[in-house]
Amino acid sequence: MSEKMATLKAGDVEIEFPIIEGTEGHPVIDVRALGSKGYFTFDPGFMATGSCESSITFIDGAKGILLHRGFSIEDLARDSDYIEVCHMLLHGEKPTEEEYQEFKHTITRHTMVHEQLNMFFHGFRNDAHPMAMLCGTVGALSSFYHSDLDVSDPEQRKRSAHRLIAKMPTLVAMCYKYNVGQPFVYPRNDLSYAANFLNMMFSVPAEDYKITPAVERAMDRIFILHADHEQNASTSTVRLAGSSGANPYACIAAGVASLWGPAHGGANEACLKMLEEIGSVDRIPEFIARAKDKNDPFRLMGFGHRVYKNHDPRATVMRESCHEVLAELNVDNPLLDVAMELERIALSDPYFAEKKLFPNVDFYSGIVLSAIGIPTNMFTCIFALARTVGWISHWHEMMSQPGQKIGRPRQLYTGHSKREYTPLKK
Candidates 136, 139, 187, 302: give the one binding ligand SDX (CB under 6 A): 302
Position 299 contacts ligand SDX (CB under 6 A): yes
Whose Cβ is closer to ligand SDX: residue 362's or residue 397's? 362
Q: Which stretch binds ligand SDX (CB under 6 A): 91-99, 123-131, 259-267, 278-286?
A: 259-267
DSSP string, 265-327: TTHHHHHHHHHHHH-SGGGHHHHHHHHH-TT-----TTB--SS-SS--HHHHHHHHHHHHHHH
Binding characters for ligand SDX, 339-358, by CB under 6 A (x = yes)? ----------------x-x-
Candidates 88, 161, 194, 267: give the one binding ligand SDX (CB under 6 A): 267
Is 323 among the catalytic positions? Answer: no
C-alpha angle 355/359/365, rounded to 5°?
A: 155
Residue 322 contacts residue 374 (beta carbons within 8 Å) = no
Tell me how far apart the terminal alpha carbons of the chain are, to the nearest angstrom: 63
Contacts of 320 (CB under 8 A, 6+ apart): none
Is 362 among the catalytic positions? Answer: yes
123: helix, strand or coil = coil
Q: Which of 129, 305, 394, 396 is catalytic?
A: 305
Whose Cβ is closer to ligand SDX: residue 174's or residue 378's? 378
Minimum Å distance from CB 415 to ligand SDX? 26
Whose Cβ is closer to ligand SDX: residue 66's or residue 195's? 66
Position 304 contacts ligand SDX (CB under 6 A): yes
Whose Cβ is closer to ligand SDX: residue 167's or residue 229's? 229
Closest of 218, 237, 194 to residue 367, by C-alpha: 218
Handedness of CA 72, 365, 228, 169 (dihedral sign): negative
CA of residue 351 relative to chain centroid, distance: 28
Minimum Å distance from CB 157 to ligand SDX? 22
CB atoms within 10 A of CB 10: 11
Binding characters for ligand SDX, 213-232, by CB under 6 A (x = yes)? ----------------x--x
Position 264 contacts ligand SDX (CB under 6 A): yes
Contacts of 332 (CB under 8 A, 6+ apart): 326
Q: Which stretch binds ligand SDX (CB under 6 A): 90-98, 196-204, 236-244, 262-270?
A: 262-270
C-alpha angle 219/225/226, rounded to 5°?
A: 95
Whose Cβ is closer to ligand SDX: residue 43's or residue 153's? 43
Whose Cβ is closer to ligand SDX: residue 138's or residue 300's? 300
User: What does the buried/exposed string (b/e) look like for 225-261 if buried means 16 or more CB atoms within 10 Å of the residue's CB?
Assistant: bbbbbbbbbbbbbbbbbbbeebbbbbbbbbbbbbbbe
Minimum Å distance from CB 209 to ligand SDX? 29
Minimum Å distance from CB 84 to ligand SDX? 19
Compute CA distances 310 → 306, 339, 347, whole Å. 11, 19, 11
Q: Which of 81, 228, 312, 362 is catalytic?
A: 362
Position 313 contacts ligand SDX (CB under 6 A): no
Question: Active-site residues: which are they?
Answer: 305, 362
> Which residues contact ligand SDX (rule: CB under 6 A)?
229, 232, 263-265, 267, 291, 299-307, 355, 357, 360-362
